[in-house]
Structure 1
Amino acid sequence: MPTIDWLKQEFDYGYDSGDVLSLVPNETRIQEEKRIGGSYREVFLKAILPNLKPDSKVLELGPGKGSWSKAILNYIPDGELQVLDFQDVKPWLKPATYGRRLTCHIVEDNSFSKLADNYFDFFWSFGVLCHNNVENIAEILKNSLPKLKPGSLAIHQYADWNKLDTYGWEKGGVPLFFQQQSDDQIWWPRNNRATMESIAQQAGWSVIVADLGLLQRDSMIVLRRLE
């Protein structure tokens, strides 16, 4: 199922996680945080905010309705955010509201060909790589690397079946019968910290840490482009 064509169709409604910075989460965020075993506000404050400067150039993959995008834009008043999605996210993110600070790209593949090389200071995704098999992830990491400036960081949430085993499949909202199916048949393909670290290194990234430890069900990898 996690083919590009499937991903284009599955999320055409626009995924929405609510206001990730709100002290009091809405019902959607409450349910998601319960499944994932973590706080979106904590993720933003500990994983994203330390890597933002007022003039940062940020790249985000798969913004959906822009829960993370809107939060990022609050902290880069002199910077810019460019987002890539298979859907036209402009009706949801309303880029005209942000002047030239927000650019929304519709893409057909994982080539990253619409973007300039050596341009971005920070690359972020959440709720994206967890729905991609390892072949897709390898392509995403390889093609995104030259788009970042040397020394820049990338942080991505991804599925970690080892943590899921410990956390609980039912509690995590992932069907247990997925264990008996191939990755091409499910929307939560197999992955773990060792696999993700290997994929990233083969793509040319330096792995800072395979998991930030902010989520009980999933992992978040921190990568750096060295040169």
Structure 2
Amino acid sequence: MLESKEVWVLDALSAEYNQFFEYLNHPKNVKYFQVEDFECRQLPENYFNYMFSFGCLCHVSFEGITEYATNIFDKLQPNTPCFWMIADKRKYNNFIEHSKEFNIWDALSPKRRKFAPLKYVFDAFSKLARPTYMDLDVFEEGQGHWHDAGVDRTCEMLEKIGYKIVEPDIGLIARDPMIHFIKP
């Protein structure tokens, strides 16, 4: 996206706090706005031809996501492709239940009995490498502040606002849905 003519960023945290520009080597085509609400007043109307959010909206309440979707609608040009990653407890729990399928150490661990000592080493690495979020119900109050927007509820809300759902989950991430929708 950094090769785009312009990239506009809205974030609750400052660029300085995030070290945003330092991390990206100070790109000239990026406009960064620290925001306190979901009004989107910094954005021009009928201007944007692509929208992407990854790893942010799962920390926003459903009411906040709804307000954001409503206020950004008129900022988008017709047929703008939009991609939003949101939190969905059902998909998250399914990922946790099948986490061994996604564990590289389990996949590499020897299966034959003669390699049993080596298997113990792989199992130890597997336990050490296990992300701590997998031991938490992060949707509980105070545990990471994830908000279970839910893919079905979010798609329904987007359609009520006037967006068209292309794909409720493009399958990019095993843990979280990525909704593909457009402003018609």
Is TM (by shorter chain) over 0.5? yes
The runs of at least 4 aligned residues of structure 1 exceeding 3 Å deviation read 94-97, 169-172, 174-179
Alpha-carbon distance in 1 for matches of 2:32, 2:26: 12
Partner of 1:102: 30
Hey, what's the Cα distance between the residues in 2 that align with 1:133 and 1:108?
A: 14
Q: For 1:176-215, what per-residue CA distance to the aligned partner results, in whole angstroms no more than 9, with x for missing partners?
A: 4456x46x88611223221111121122211111100111
> Which residue is equivalent to 1:140?
68
Contact 2:21 2:27 in 1 (8 A): no
Residues 86-106 of structure 1 show CA distances to partners (whole Å, capped at 9, x for unaligned) of: 22215521589333x111112
Q: Within 1, Cα distance between the matches of 2:167 and 2:64? A: 21
The corresponding residue for 1:204 is 162
Residue in 2 aligned with 1:220? 178
Q: How many residue pairs align between the two structures? A: 149
Tell whether the 8 Å contact from 1:134 to 1:199 is kept in structure 2 after alignment: no
TM-score, with length taken from structure 2:
0.71
Task: From 17, 38, 41, give the equivalent of 1:113.
Answer: 41
The C-alpha deviation readout for 1:61-111, integer Å capped at 9, x for no partner, is xxxxxxxxxxx11x32xx111111122215521589333x11111211110
Query: Given that residues 210 and 221 in structure 1 are in contact (C-alpha distance below 8 angstroms), is that contact kept between their aligned partners in structure 2?
Result: yes
Q: Cα offset for 1:162?
A: 1.3
Matching of residue 84 in structure 1 with residue 15 in structure 2: no
CA deviations 1:142-181 (Å, max 9, x no partner) are 11111111111110111111111211179572554456x4
Larger radius of gyration: 2
SS state at 2:49 partner: strand
The DSSP-based 3-state class of the residue aligned with 1:155 is strand
The structure-2 alpha-carbon separation of the partners of 1:175 and 1:195, relative to structure 1 and needing over 3 Å to count, comes to: farther
Q: Distance in 2 between matches of 1:174 and 1:113?
A: 38
Aligned-partner Cα distance in 2 for 1:106–1:178: 26
Counterpart-to-counterpart distance in 2, 1:219 and 1:109: 24
Distance 1:102 1:156, change over 3 A: same
Displacement after TM superposition at 1:121 (Å): 0.8
Q: In structure 2, the residue corresponding to 1:98 is in which secondary structure?
A: coil
Q: In structure 2, what is the Cα distance between the partners aligned to 1:82 and 1:189?
A: 25
